[in-house]
Amino acid sequence: MQNLILMKVLLNFKNKLVTQAFYNFIKNIEEFIPCTVEEKGCEDPEIILTDFYSLNSEIFSRYPKSKVVLVDTGIELNLLLKTLIQYKIAGIIAPYTDLNLFKKALKVINDGQIWLDNKYLKRLIYNFENLNIKKFPITPKEKEIISLVCKGLSNKEIADKLNISERTVKAHLNRIFRKFNIQSRTQLIRIFLGTDHT
């Protein structure tokens, strides 16, 4: 019989009722152990579960190795997607997620992948398709790279995913930046998510 590897899930919610609800919910999932900041033994959690109102940069500096997961509590979608990129969120849990899907999401995130419901993915793609293509003529490869940048992948991760060199990724990004007249990935993400109206 294999030893079960337990994963700590730190609950970071300002709302105590939400914290208690998730605590009771997660303690019934055999692979995961819920804990709170006040509890001893909650150092270095694998996953931090939080919401938009409880999110702050201190979480990332205090737990640099933990994967932060955002619970959608009805925030405007573009704001949620902007938060996903700005804070390097590992995933968003939709409000209609059932227990089985929730367990799957935590496992996928713990394995180093990003978890996004189809609703969020469709919105990302919709925003992307609605860019003014005449103003920003981009190639299919550039489109692919922009999409991966917006998912939070590094140049090396993009290179591995597309089977190209890191140097080629940098060259593509430099061309993209020139076309969009920008200097950073953050500006590119803002354009892509429809949050930059300048």
Q: What is the pLDDT of residue 5?
A: 67
Q: Look up the CATH number of the domain holding residue 87.
A: 3.40.50.2300
Q: Look up the CATH number of the domain holding residue 181.
A: 1.10.10.10
User: Mean pLDDT, to the nearest integer, of 39-58?
Assistant: 86
Domains held by the chain: number? 2
**pLDDT 10s digits, 122-140:** 776 666 665 544 456 778 8
Q: Is the pLDDT of residue 197 over 50?
A: no
Domain end call among 70, 92, 117 = 117
- Shared domain for 49 and 13, answered yes or no, is yes
Q: What is the pLDDT of residue 37?
A: 81
Chain mean pLDDT for the chain: 81
Q: What is the pLDDT of residue 3?
A: 54
Q: What is the pLDDT of residue 198?
A: 37
- Shared domain for 51 and 86, answered yes or no, is yes
- Shared domain for 108 and 22, answered yes or no, is yes
Domain span holding position 13: 7-117
Beta carbons of 56 and 63 less than 8 angstroms apart: no
**Distance between CA atoms of 146 and 9, rounded to whole angstroms?**
31
Between 4 and 46, whose confidence is greater?
46
Q: What is the 3-state secondary structure (H, E, C) of the chain?
A: CCCCCCEEEEEECCCHHHHHHHHHHHCCCCCEEEECCCCCCCCCCCEEEEECCCCCHHHHHHCCCCEEEEECCCCCHHHHHHHHHHCCCCEEECCCCCHHHHHHHHHHHHCCCCECCHHHHHHHHHHHHCCCCCCCCCCHHHHHHHHHHHCCCCHHHHHHHHCCCHHHHHHHHHHHHHHHCCCCHHHHHHHHCCCCCC
